[in-house]
Amino acid sequence: MNATNNMLTITGGQGNYPLAYIETDRTLEFTFASSEFTLDMFGMANATPIEAKDTSTMESRLFNVETGLKITIPYQVKEDSVRIKGFTQVAGITPEAGKFAVTHGENDEPETTILFVADDAAVGEKMRVAYRRRVNGASVATVQTNARTAKGSLSAHWPVYTSGSDTSDSAIKGYLHLEIPRVRVTALPGFDTSYKSAATNSITFAAVDPKEADAQMYSLTYEPLDGQGKVITTPSVGATEW
């Protein structure tokens, strides 16, 4: 959480020190980062729903040409999506010179078979094949060209720990609660997949004036715990509202 108060400095006369400071604007930003991947962060930030469905993804791999001058892809691939450098695909299931044939499997036998003629391939030869593979049971968040970032309210919670002078063992002695009634996402999550390091997705929320009658911008609440580190469930004496 970063709260900033910007000032305009007023100077005059022969003195070196400012005569006054006038507040120009304030900003309140909250940044959250997590190395645990979840698609929910991307869906929420872009205000887009997450759909559960089958889809496809483009990939390429090296395959060995097997006996019978064929390549077997152990997946279902999209019709007319197979690409091999130097070859084109025939319309039917019989290969021709310079052209390969593709036979697509069904749901219970998802293998895809690519056939060549004798002069175009040899058993044991390696070929790179590109194709669109079926992705089953996927979660998909689709961001549109005219998508707007999400807006709403924000709640955040931090544990407050004791020091060595408070107790013999360090423990949580309370919680700090942050409530911002109106925010907008200003920095979207992305990826930094550096070698052998966790990809940490982060998101930034900027507070927006809620224009409420009580002029409340945000609130910070400290909640103390009892002697056993548990939430106090008994209402305070004389409490009238919460």
Summarize pLDDT for 108-138 with one digit per residue, the tens.
889 999 999 999 999 999 999 999 999 999 9
CA dist., res. 2 & res. 59, Å (int): 42
pLDDT at 4: 94
Does 170 have pLDDT greater than 80? no
Each domain of the chain, given as residue ranges in start order, spans: 25-48+144-224, 52-141
**Burial (CB count within 10 angstroms: exposed 0-12, middle 13-18, buried 19+), residue 117:** middle
Check residues 53 and 238 and name the one with the higher pLDDT.
Answer: 53
CA dist., res. 189 & res. 46, Å (int): 9
pTM of the model: 0.78
Q: Strands 88-89 and 99-103, how do they pair?
A: parallel
Mean pLDDT of the chain: 91
Tokens (6 digits) for 39: 């698609």
Tokens (6 digits) for 136: 């089953």
Residue 114's φ and ψ, nearest 5 degrees, are -115, 125
